[in-house]
Amino acid sequence: MDDHNIESHPDLMDPEWQRHAEKEAWTGLRRNRRRARRRRLVTIVAAVVIVVAAAGFYLWKQGTRPEEIAGSGPAVLTPTTTAPAPTDLPDSGHVDLKRPFDNTPAQNWPEGIAGLTVPAPAKVGSFSEKQVGDAQEQVKHAVEVAQFDKDVLEGHHPDGYIGLFAPDSRADLHTNPQEYLTYIEDGYHLLPVQPRMTGKMTVRPGKAGELYLHVSYVVAYAFDPGSHVIEGPADLEPFVRTDDDYVMRSGTGWGPGSRGLWLGEGGEYTTAASCDAAKKRLLAPAFADPYFTGPSLTPEPGRFDPSKPVPTKGNCEE
């Protein structure tokens, strides 16, 4: 087939086809529709063989068998990239469904809760170093359940999260759990890869008997596109920016039912997510809204960098 005169191909000149293509296009998005170059399988296999062989030789020299590393099972050598990550989420480009976060802001982020940086415990106000450390671990676990637990994400069961809080706070948390938990919309499923995360926790004193633990983080999820045609990472990888205050209450100034963890003020911002799902306080990929024609936005670094201010307006707003 002659690729040099593709623009004059009879199928592309057909007026009816052109009207259909225009209707199907996403307003405001410039898509790169060139096909990604296919890498030769033999090159990939050769590279893997070389890496495995080199690693095995090194471990033999060190006197350690591969199966002794990271548990009793065989060692799995996971390729990593040291290339700088993009600062924005591409609308177009090849997506490797086994490594979907490559060439996105989450490219070098750790997997799961490992991406949340927690400061070393230290005495804060009336809270001892041990009390602060215990509170930090409790908040870290709460974040992990809220963002990564399958029973929450897919099952929409909040009890495992709510049970981490002081008894007197649980009734309010049961009222609208989707305000602070990530629920995936039914019918959509994540790829079999761990979501990526970046963020940190900070600690400060509150009023008497209170310890504030603030978390600011971004989580990137990768959805299985199934039969959907994917133009780039933005089609299947929503990023969720969350800023929350957790409050630990302790001491005789609080009743027995009020002692423990409380959820304070917070907010959330999503990028490249389904607007139809967002209206229901659910998370789904952008390809769930194939005809969305929201406003174009000036890129704000806070979408992917929790150290920057939280964006104030999203594509789903009128």
| Per-residue pLDDT tens digits for 85-98 | 999 999 899 999 99
Residues 81, 108: contact at Cβ < 8 Å?
yes
| Per-residue pLDDT tens digits for 115-150 | 999 999 999 999 999 999 999 999 999 999 999 999
Residues 303, 87: contact at Cβ < 8 Å?
no
| Per-residue pLDDT tens digits for 209-238 | 999 999 999 999 999 999 999 999 999 999
**Residue 149 carries which side chain, given as an amino acid letter?**
D
Task: Work out whether strand 116-117 and strand 196-205 pair parallel, antiparallel, or are unpaired.
Answer: parallel
Over the chain, what is the mean pLDDT? 79
Separation CA 178–CA 157 (nearest Å): 10
Place of tokens 């957790």: 246
Place of tokens 């927690």: 118
Which residues on neighbouring strands pair with residue 214, listed in sequence order? 202, 245
Give the helix ranges, DSSP H, for 40-162: 41-62, 129-148, 150-153, 159-162
Q: Any idea what the Cα angle at residue 205 is, between residues 202 and 208, rounded to 5°? A: 155
Q: What are phi and psi of 207, to 5 degrees?
A: -75, 180
pLDDT of 177 strictly over 80? yes
Tokens at residue 238, please?
A: 């929503």
What residues have CB less than 8 Å from 41, skipping those under 6 apart?
none
* More reliable by pLDDT, 189 or 56: 189
Express as a percent the part of the chain with pLDDT over 70: 71
